[in-house]
Structure formats: structure tokens, C-alpha cells
A and B are shown apart, each in its own frame.
Chain A
């Protein structure tokens, strides 16, 4: 079996995913275009050598519909011989795309594959693609559907995380992100987004609040109290009877931000690297996806990380750095608690609470961040993981080279 090496990784900064956000005027294919161009230019790449483009994208409707992977590669001027496939594993899509690209390489079928993801949440609203899971009353009922925010509150309730615990975590996320940007830790990977007129629109994650404080967050109302009262709390209790009352602790300030953004990663085997004169930065050690209880939905990181470690023959304690997607503060707190990890190894440069979670791209973004940080700190193993809609989890372990 071949090794799958990461040769390069690029991402856009993340813009607020709404009207007035700096990337709102950029269409989804144009979020990707500068990234394709960067990969091409930075690596002096003959794009015909790329065997496939796999992109994660969750809301595949309208501009993001009809296989944006294929269309965006063509739009970026890549060789028409490069095919493309768009993947939806909800929030794991971006990481799944990178993992699948790596697996194509590891299997020996392909030499060089691009993985990544894209999501313009300001232009293709989350949920606009519908889905039997929650629209179909029979399935909704049978599966005990509740919105993710209520699931996150359920996690917090069961784990005993207080409002202060989750708010504290959120403040830290902002502080770490501010520090990371000040120390230019993302510089290697960020490709500025430009307007049609050529002006730089976005070169830094837009959502970060340097002034984030516990005091400031205190004033925010829990976002999921109302849906809980409509009946979702009862549905949660049907699965978790030991809960007398769901404690609603999450709000806009301690949940992941809605943003626009994209990321691409160039993955290939050793031979092609030599042929194209590329330097490997890290290698894929193991990947894992799991299914978990769909109502609580967000508990997948722990078992997927454990499974990835098992496949790799590593212990959790062997991992030097973790990137755990900050979908909601309680998700990361639970992961840290479950696996008894030093919190200083987790999301050292902040996460989606501070910088946002462009659904289909995030997995590729945090894998990118992990490579950068392993290099900066000269550490060996890193693990990226995300909780995933409908009760799934994904984890990838990489080793710096």
C-alpha cells in the first residue's frame, strides 16, 4: 500500500455567512477559484496530472448544486481531463473528501488527488436542501429528530456542563484565534479572496472578536430554548429519560459561526512527489468514521477518534495535537472529558466558535490547520475530528514528516 502525503494545503479566510459578510458577493465557485490557482502556481502543477477532485459541500442546491467539484475545477481553468465528485457527509464532508482522496492514493489506483470543501452559507442557506430525515414525518418521528442546538444542550445537560463552562470555552476560542492571527500562524495557508474588480475582500477570518468576554456572553439568550419548548425537549427525553429538563446553555456566542469559506489540499503518493519535485509535509496515518445515536447526534468524535487510534496502533496519549470542530462548545468539552486529554493540546489556535464553520469545508480547514501547527511546533501526531449530523463521527490521524 502506498503512503498518502499531504503536499500542500490552502484555504480562504472565513467571511460572515450573511448579507454584509465580506465573502457574500463571492459565488461559491469563486471561493474555490483562487485556491485552485494557488495550488497550481505554488506547486507549478500541470493540472492534467491530477486524477480527481473530491470536494465536500453540504447544501448542494442552486449555485452549489449539480456537482460543484467538477464545475469549480473547470471554472478555475483546470484541465478538462480532471474529473470531480462532490461529497455530503454533513459537517464531515471536507474531511471525508480529504480522507477519500488519501484512500484513492493509498490504494494505488491514483497518484495525485485534490480533496477539500466549500460552503457559501450566505448564498445557499443551511437546510435549503431539505431531506427525508426531518421533513418526512414518519422518519422524523421514528428517528427522534431534534435540531443540533438542542442536541448540544442535551450533551451539556447529561455531562453537567454549566452555562459558565461553555461560555468560558467560547471566550478561549476567540483568544486563541486572536493570538494565532497575531503570530501569523495561518499565513502559510490563507489565500486572500478578491472581488471581481481585483480588490482584496477577505484575508483574515472575519468573525473573530478580540473583545469576547464572559461578561459579554452572559447577556445572550439561549438560542434553543424555544425550539425545545415546542416539543424537541420531549423528543430528547424519550431517548434520554434520565433527563428531567434539558438545560439550554448554547447560544450564538458559544456555537460555531455561520460563514463562507473553502479549502483545498493536494494529496499524492511518494512517486508523484518526486516526479513533480514536491515536498511532503505530512502523511495520513489512519481515518475512521462511525455512526452513533442520531438524536443526541453530536457524540461521534470520541468513538471515531478511538477507532482511528486503534487502526493506527496508537494510544490517545500518543497524539500531540487535536483539532476538534467547535460545532458547539459542549462537543469539545465532552471530547476532552471522555478521553481525559490535556486541554492545552486541543484547538490551540482557536476553532469554529471564533472563526466559523463553513459546513462542507471545515473538515479540510482543520486538517490544514493541524498540518501547519504540527510543523510550527515540530510535533509528530495530530488528530482532526468532527461531530456529524444524524449521529456520525469522523477522525483522521496524520503524522508530520
Chain B
């Protein structure tokens, strides 16, 4: 039984949700059956004075069962599933007797919606207890009355952002907002408070079921409220660019909910919920941000036979932006850090990076001063490699020069633990070659961090030819230890993320070379789902660096006797560098102008330097080129086994360079498009724009049967 029912001496029915075989309770068929029997019991036993709903797990209820939601095949089914659950909740809150939610732990999604259908909510005052309606993160909406009850409880203006952002609240924040009525110090205290409330309030009614109900925060129908409805969708699309239907549907639930009675509003919400469940966006997001991300987090691609490793003392070589960031995230995770640079002073400067970040957190009230001090004390800045003594892991983050890297590798290897791991944070140099400089190449690996390290969640782990499975597994553990997401890739030029990411930047440049409007290139990239435009990114990278990387790559490829294909976008790089001396953002002049005051803007002369040669390209061709360039390259990486599973490819694309999350990442984009249609379109783009769009053979083969990439 998923819900245990016990009558206590005071004739209060204690309903304890405790689903067998699960670490946390969810809303699914099984729990719904539990609610059905709870309702039956309530109806058949007039002796029941009141009900207390609580949980037998650490958490209360953590939400709907994603497996069940993902399996839903049509809108009617989705509609009926939530309508059934809603029916139970409606019966609970109108049963004429007090129903209390005793939140012993986290209540999210359907869990919080269940609590909202109770007359009174008491929560344990514990830090780990979280409250929230995070459905939007997976392209869904609170479909069990959450949009309606929360809005009627705390007002639309307070409720809307919680649902749009999926933000999680502490019990205290919940109380401040009016979601939680009372906090309790212990479980006993909570049950005592619940019983007391039941005795005092024998026949409670929900605010929305009272005749004198008034919307908190003012009339949502007329006057000022009209401005809020008018601007709402545009506010959402400021970041969403029209790509995320769920928040718009949430807003529609709220809006229509203000025009109709409560029960009708619940039914309208169910219909919008059904639309969300069947949306491609939700399907893509669940695929990648739920299943594939969870697979990574659970270590599906980590060799299970290697015992779990915990890094104790980490050495970081190079106290520049990357090294300083790696030191910060490591120290924050409780690891002792030796931060080395050429001199003590420059290493100190690297430590200042952490000092500043921590001070900001303290100032914002997110951390205590003591905690910040503790973290800071773990970082030892030094100019002496001897301080690496006892380090079980070294991460090197010096300039991308082979000789320099060889030198620091050798130096560190003399002092660190003999069986320690040496990791290179390179984004361009092949790992196998770098490993030769280390006495134990089997313990050598690539850890590609992203900038800024404290914000970017991804770390790309690169295995060299000789890297051992143990080293890989331990590196994986370290990345998780510092609360980052590890993906595993094989050694290859540009590895995975840089290689695919640069196709995005170069495609934007190619469009510019063809004379397309630069503003259109940037805007259409946003509309395609990319967070930063390709021309802005080129400036961030610096055109000088792009040219250098291109020359090095060309040299290397020629040395290997391989063919060099120059992306048509390189024309822009060389022209701006050589003819106009525009190097990028750091130089203060690139594709953009960077005025001392005010925002950057596209260099007005771009249109003259790269004049339009024909009528503007269709928006759909531009958007497709931006996404297909990346997807085709990712498919090649998959074929070449640079990435070895779709999860790493998709998760890496979203967290590495921000590839459209609503597409579920770069390979899911192909699956969502349908491999057959994708190949047809890619071949069409190849004919029109060049061989970089040509789909790899493995994809063409899948397309024959329209089979997805797995």
C-alpha cells in the first residue's frame, strides 16, 4: 500500500505516504490508488475528525513520476491522468473536515500541489527541506491545480515567477510568502501542531471556496493588471525567444483562471498540461535534462569496478583565470588546493579570484563569513613546485604551448604523489602527445574546464591513448566531487565541445561573408535557441586566436599528410584582422564596437566590408544552417567515436556551449527532426551551401529506416 492509514486516539486519520521500492514518493498510478482509498475511508467513516498527510520517507513527495509522464502517448491520456488526481485533491479539500499537510521533507511539483490542496500546511524548519513547482524545467506545468491554488493563495504576481523559473524555496521562505502556515522544530512538534489545528478548526474551507474570496495582491481582471497580462509573454520571451511554450501555457492558466470559477479553471489547466506533456520541447528536455543527465550523474559511463575516489589535495598549475577558477571550485568542495604560478605574487593574485567570489557570496547573504574563511584557508598560493608534495591530483592550466606544458608537467611529477593523476586543462592540444611528458602516461588525462569555471557546470574529460580506466574513473569522481557534470570524450582534434562549437561560430561568420545582415545573423541565432550570437562569440574568442588556431591546425594536418578544408567563415577572420586590424573584444574592436559607456553594438561598417550580394537569405535557411552545422559535426564526432554515447553528446552541448535546451541537445535535435528528414535537409543544405552540411554515412544509414541515433 502506498499510503498507510492509521486512526489515532483523537480520531485523527494519519495518512503516511510511503511507496515501496522507491527512495522518494512520487505521484503516479500507485500513489493515486492510495489517495483513492484515503477518500473512500474519509467518506465511509464519520468518526474521522481530521486528516494529517505526511510521508514515511526523508522527503514528503518529490513530484510526478517522470517515467509515467514520458510514456503518455496522447493529449487525452495526459488530460485524464491529471483530472483523476485533481478529483481526489478536490474531494480532500471539500470533505468538510480539516486536512493537514505535515511536510516532514521536500515537497516539489505534485507533492507541493497535494499540500496546497490541504487546509493547513506545517513544515519542518530544516535547511534541506525545499518547496517548489519546478515543472517548467522539463517543459511541463503544475497540472494538479498548482497554477490555480498557488495564485489564489499568494496572488498572481508572487505565484507566477515561482512557476516560470521553477525556483525552490526553503520552509522559511515558504512561510514568508504565505505558502506555509506554520513551522515545526521536530516531527512530534509538527504532529502536535497539526492535531491542535484540527481541534480548533473542525470545518475549514479553502479560501477559494469561500463566498467572500478576494484575489491576494489586487483585482487581476481590470485596471493595472491589464498591463501585466500585456507585457507577460514578452517578458518571458526576453530570454526564451518564443522557444518555450510551457511558461506561456502557465500564464494562460493563470489568465483564464481569473475569468472562470475554480473548477472550470482546474479543467482548463489540465488541457494546457496535456499540451505541455505532448510538446516536442518537453519530450526533448526530459530525454536529455532528466534521463541522460541522470545517467551521467549516476555514473552510467563510469567503470563500476573502480572504487570511488575522493581527491584530497589538488595542485593547480597556472593561476590565471582558469587555474584560479579550478582552485576556487576545488576548495569550495572541501579539497585542499596548492595554487602555483611563476611567482608567489602571481599565485596570490590567483587566490584573490576566490577571495572576491566568496566576498560576493557573503555580501549576498548566501554564505557565512566563517565558511568563506574556511574555504579560502584551503588554498595555498605558491611559486614553488615543492609545495605539490602529497598532491594526489594535479591540474595544469598554463598557456597552450607544448614546451611550457612539458616543463610544468615534468616539474610537478617530481613532487606529487607517484600514483597521482596528472590532468591537463587544454582545449586544443591532443592529450596522447602531452601524456608522453609524464612518467606515468596511464595516469595522464585531459580535464577541459569551461570559462568562467565557477559558473560553467560542464567538464569534458579527455582520455589519451594510454589513459587507464582507473584514471578515467577517478577523474570522473573528482569532477563530481567539485559538483560539475563530467562527459567523457576520446582524444581528437578539438575534442568534442570545441570542435562542434567552432562550427557554430564559423557558420555565423560564413553567413556574414556571404553578405547576410549581421544583426539578422545574431538575432536568428537567438531564435534558433543559442544563448550568444556567433559574431559576439568570435569577438570573445578573439579573431587573432582563431587565426592562430587555424594556422596551427593547418600545419599539423599537413604534417600528417591530411587535407585542409578552410571554413568559408575564415575569410571574415582574415579580412578583419589584416585589413582593418580588428581583433575582438579584448582589443576593443572586432565585429562589434565597444564604447566606453553603453552597450556594445555591431561595427556599422560590417555591411560595407561584407556587402550583400543577393536578396537576404530566408530566415529558415539561416536558422537551419546555424543548427545543422553543429548537428552534422556532432554526428561525425559520434561516428568517429569522439563521443561514445548520445547522453554525453547532448548534455555536453547544452552545458558546454548552450546548444538549444528545448531541442534536447545537439544529437537529440537530429532525432527530434527525424533522421530521415534531417538527412534530406542536410543534403539540401550541402547542395546549396557546401560540404560541411553533408551528413555522415552512419546517419544516412539510420535515415533509411528513420531510426533515431541511440
Residue positions of A touching B, CB distance < 8 A? 127-128, 130, 134-138, 140-141, 145-147, 227, 230-232, 234-235, 237-238, 241-245
Contacts and interface: CB of A to CB of B under 8 A. Distances in A.
B237 A145 contact: no
B527 interface: yes
Counting chain A CB atoms within 10 Å of each CB, the highest count among B229, B231, B233 belongs to B233
Contact of B234 (A128, A130, A135, A235): A235
B457 to A, nearest CB: 26
B413 to A, nearest CB: 51
Nearest to A230: B231
A127 B226 contact: yes
B517 A137 contact: no
B619 interface: yes
B226 A227 contact: no
A227 B235 CA distance: 10
A231 B238 contact: yes
Interface stretch (B1-9, B91-99, B248-256, B291-299): B248-256
Nearest to B623: A241
B702 to A, nearest CB: 33
Contacts of A237: 523
B233 A145 contact: yes
Nearest to A130: B226
Interface in B601-635: 601-602, 616, 619
B242 interface: yes
B641 to A, nearest CB: 38
Contacts, number: 87
Interface residues of B, number: 34
A70 B343 CA distance: 90
A231 B519 contact: no
B231 A232 contact: yes
A238 B233 contact: no
A141 B237 contact: yes
Nearest to B225: A135
B230 A135 contact: yes
Nearest to A147: B230
B423 interface: no
B452 interface: no
Contacts of A138: 248-249, 252
30 contacts: A128-B222, A134-B229, A134-B230, A135-B226, A135-B230, A136-B229, A137-B233, A137-B251, A137-B252, A137-B255, A140-B234, A145-B230, A147-B230, A227-B231, A230-B238, A231-B236, A235-B234, A238-B237, A238-B523, A238-B527, A241-B517, A241-B520, A241-B524, A241-B527, A241-B619, A242-B519, A242-B616, A243-B519, A244-B522, A244-B602
Contacts of A135: 226, 229-230, 255
Contacts of B241: 234, 238
Given A137-B229, A140-B229, A231 B252 contact: no
A137 B602 contact: no
A141 B519 contact: no
B232 interface: yes
Interface string B511-540: 000000111101110010000000000000
B522 A140 contact: no
A285 to B, nearest CB: 37
Nearest to A138: B252
Contacts of B518: 244
B235 A231 contact: yes
Given A135-B226, A244-B522, A244-B601, A230 B234 contact: yes
Contacts of B248: 137-138, 141
A145 to B, nearest CB: 7
A371 to B, nearest CB: 38
Nearest to A141: B233
Contacts of B237: 141, 231, 234-235, 238
Nearest to B231: A230
Contact of A242 (B235, B236, B517, B601): B517
Interface of B: 222, 226, 229-238, 241-242, 248-249, 251-252, 254-256, 517-520, 522-524, 527, 599, 601-602, 616, 619
Contacts of B519: 241-244
A10 B630 CA distance: 66
CB-based closest 3 A-B pairs: A231-B234, A241-B523, A244-B519
Contacts of A134: 229-230
Given A127-B226, A238-B242, 12 more contacts: A130-B222, A135-B230, A138-B252, A231-B234, A231-B237, A231-B238, A238-B237, A238-B241, A238-B523, A241-B523, A241-B524, A245-B599
Contacts of A146: 234
A130 B227 CA distance: 10
Given A137-B252, A242-B520, A244-B522, A230 B233 contact: no
A124 B619 CA distance: 42
A135 B222 CA distance: 10
Contacts of A130: 222, 226
Nearest to B242: A238
Contacts of B256: 136
A397 to B, nearest CB: 33
Contacts of B520: 241-242
Contacts of B226: 127, 130, 135
Contact of A234 (B222, B238, B251): B238
B147 to A, nearest CB: 12
Counting chain B CB atoms within 10 Å of each CB, the highest count among A128, A140, A232 belongs to A140
B242 A141 contact: yes
B498 to A, nearest CB: 27
Contact of A140 (B230, B523, B524, B602): B230
Contacts of A128: 222
A58 to B, nearest CB: 15
Contacts of B255: 135-137
B558 to A, nearest CB: 39
A238 B229 CA distance: 19
A126 B523 CA distance: 33
Contacts of B616: 242
B230 A245 contact: no
A232 B230 CA distance: 10
A242 B241 CA distance: 15
Nearest to B516: A242
Contacts of B233: 137, 140-141, 145, 235
Counting chain B CB atoms within 10 Å of each CB, the highest count among A145, A232, A241 belongs to A241
Counting chain B CB atoms within 10 Å of each CB, the highest count among A128, A232, A243 belongs to A232
B252 A136 contact: yes
A128 B524 CA distance: 36
B242 A140 contact: no
A243 B523 contact: yes
A234 B232 CA distance: 13
B602 to A, nearest CB: 6
A351 B653 CA distance: 56
A232 B234 contact: yes
Contacts of A234: 234, 237-238, 241
B235 A230 contact: yes
A199 to B, nearest CB: 34
A346 to B, nearest CB: 31
Contacts of B229: 134-137, 140
Nearest to A127: B226
A245 B601 contact: yes
A242 B622 CA distance: 12
Contacts of A137: 229, 232-233, 248, 251-252, 254-255
B246 to A, nearest CB: 12
Contacts of A145: 230, 233-234
Contacts of A127: 226
Contacts of B242: 141, 238
Nearest to A136: B255
Contacts of A238: 237, 241-242, 523, 527
A299 to B, nearest CB: 18
Contacts of A230: 231, 234-235, 238
Nearest to B245: A141
Contacts of A231: 231, 234-238
